[in-house]
Amino acid sequence: QKEVEQDPGPLSVPEGAIVSLNCTYSNSAFQYFMWYRQYSRKGPELLMYTYSSGNKEDGRFTAQVDKSSKYISLFIRDSQPSDSATYLCAMSNTGNQFYFGTGTSLTVIP
Amino acid sequence: DGGITQSPKYLFRKEGQNVTLSCEQNLNHDAMYWYRQDPGQGLRLIYYSQIVNDFQKGDIAEGYSVSREKKESFPLTVTSAQKNPTAFYLCASSIGTGFNSPLHFGNGTRLTVT
């Protein structure tokens, strides 16, 4: 079993829709959770960084962590064509070893 | 602007040749990492370094070598022993061990070996 599971998609939504991206994990020791956005032929860009359970909001983005279910989510409100990218989840237990999902490809259609 | 610079963006080599990928950061981060990204496989850790003159193997270190002579620089050499070197290589850094900080990535080098 992989440490982190992420549905690869692809996911296609109309502009303005709410997008929900999810990852599950198996290691209950994970404490730090990250979401990255990666455009084609570019490096991943950090979107959200959270510690432990709960919600964190930044503009149109909300990261949610449910440690009891070993499940994290990223919500994108009012999605825009510029949000079209691959979204990677990542997590860590020590702060120096990171485990990544395989990424979900998102297309927002104008 | 602080960040991570990887060069070149595209690199082409013949099979059997060693090639070195450059990674420089001006974030004053202690820890640096090399990942390989292949379609459908996610990011796989090649090597990481927590301090100057020290580095550890990641999950797929065979056929690769690194050095960390300066805090700012962490070059990766892809040797002829690497069986399938064509990939997208990403360098990253973080504040370091003992600190709760995420990874920050460069924009990658796409290596093609024929």
Residue pLDDT, tens place only, A64-103? 999 999 999 999 999 999 999 999 999 988 767 889 999 9
B2 contacts chain A (CB < 8 A) = no
B43 contacts chain A (CB < 8 A) = yes
> Which residues from A are below 8 Å from B when comparing CB atoms?
8, 32, 34, 36, 41-46, 49, 51, 88, 90, 94-96, 98, 100-103
Q: Name residue, tokens 């825009």.
A: A80
- Closest-CA residue in chain A for B108? A43
Q: Percentage of chain A with pLDDT > 70?
A: 98
Do A46 and A98 meet the contact criterion of CB atoms below 8 Å apart?
A: no
- Dihedral sign of CA atoms B73, B71, A47, B44 in order: positive
B101 contacts chain A (CB < 8 A) = yes
- Closest-CA residue in chain B for A92? B102
**Phi and psi, residue A83, nearest 5°:** -80, -10
Q: Is the pLDDT of residue A44 over 80?
A: yes
Q: For residue B99, what pLDDT is reported? A: 59
CA angle B92/B97/B103 to nearest 5° reads 25
What confidence tier does B39 reach under pLDDT thresholds 50, 70, 90? confident
B30 min Cα distance to partner chain A (Å): 11
Residue pLDDT, tens place only, B46-57? 999 999 999 999
Q: For residue A95, what pLDDT is reported? A: 66
Side-chain half-sphere of B101: how many Cα atoms within 13 Å? 16
Q: For residue B101, what pLDDT is reported? A: 82
Average of per-residue pLDDT values in chain B:
93
- Dihedral sign of CA atoms A50, A54, A56, A60 in order: positive
Q: Which two tokens stand for residue A61?
A: 């983005």
Q: For residue B91, what pLDDT is reported? A: 98
Residues from chain B that touch A90, judged by Cβ atoms under 8 A, are: 102-103
What confidence tier does B89 reach under pLDDT thresholds 50, 70, 90? very high
The one-letter amino acid at A97 = Q
B104 min Cα distance to partner chain A (Å): 7
Q: For residue B97, what pLDDT is reported? A: 65
Q: For residue B93, what pLDDT is reported? A: 95
What confidence tier does B96 reach under pLDDT thresholds 50, 70, 90? confident
What confidence tier does A9 reach under pLDDT thresholds 50, 70, 90? confident
Lowest pLDDT segment from A5-9, A61-65, A88-92? A5-9
Q: Is the pLDDT of residue B100 over 80?
A: no
* Cα-to-chain-centroid distance, residue B31: 12
Lowest pLDDT segment from A65-69, A76-80, B60-64, B97-101? B97-101
Name the residue facing A101 among B42, B100, B107 (closest C-beta). B42
